[in-house]
Amino acid sequence: MPVLHAREGIRRTPADDQGAVLMDAHRDRFYGLNPAAAVIWHAVADGTEVTAAAAIAARALLAAFSIDPATAQRDAESHLAVLTGHGLLQERP
């Protein structure tokens, strides 16, 4: 089953109430993560089955913020799409 991981060369600053910063060492780029994206990154970047990633990210958002489950699921799916779209998260076998 495919697993979602941080792409090799991605480094993250410690998260705080402002979010976090990702550094892509291979592309010399920096990405700012808002607090929700930082929570999602922490929840899935070390390896999460692709089919479970959105649910795991949504649960992490529910634990961190006062939001409803539908909003958490929608935000999780949206942030994961952006993170994978930028190549920061990628699937591995």
Per-residue pLDDT 10s for the chain (93 aa) are 899 999 999 999 999 999 999 999 999 999 999 999 999 999 999 999 999 999 999 999 999 999 999 999 999 999 999 999 999 999 998
The pTM for the full model equals 0.94
**DSSP states of 47-82:** -EEGGGHHHHHHHHHHHHS---HHHHHHHHHHHHHH
* C-alpha–C-alpha distance, residues 61 and 69, integer Å: 9
Task: Please report the pLDDT score of residue 85 as a whole number.
Answer: 96
Task: Please report the pLDDT score of residue 49 as a whole number.
Answer: 97
Rg (CA), the chain: 12
* C-alpha–C-alpha distance, residues 24 and 91, integer Å: 17
User: Domain locations in the chain?
Assistant: 3-87
* C-alpha–C-alpha distance, residues 45 and 91, integer Å: 11
